[in-house]
Amino acid sequence: FNRLQRCYERTEKVINAYFDLADAIITVRSLIRRAWILYRWDNRPNRRR
């Protein structure tokens, strides 16, 4: 996300692509966290931190 703080790109397409990539990363992380809590089973491995 540091790339979004200091934007040296000149084309709007590249800037939008970085924002889309950041949105995708945030969404996937959120879904993984939510699934980790909601979908439990007996022999689930321990969560790594």
Q: Tens of pLDDT along 26-40?
A: 999 999 888 877 877
d(CA 30, CA 10): 30
| Global confidence as pTM | 0.61
pLDDT of res. 27? 95
Radius of gyration of the chain measured on its C-alpha atoms: 16
pLDDT of res. 6? 67
* Average pLDDT value over all residues in the chain: 79
d(CA 39, CA 20): 28
Residue 2 clears pLDDT 70, i.e. is over it? no
Report the Cα 29 to chain-centroid distance in Å.
5
pLDDT of res. 45? 66
Task: Identify the residue with better confidence: 24 or 6.
Answer: 24
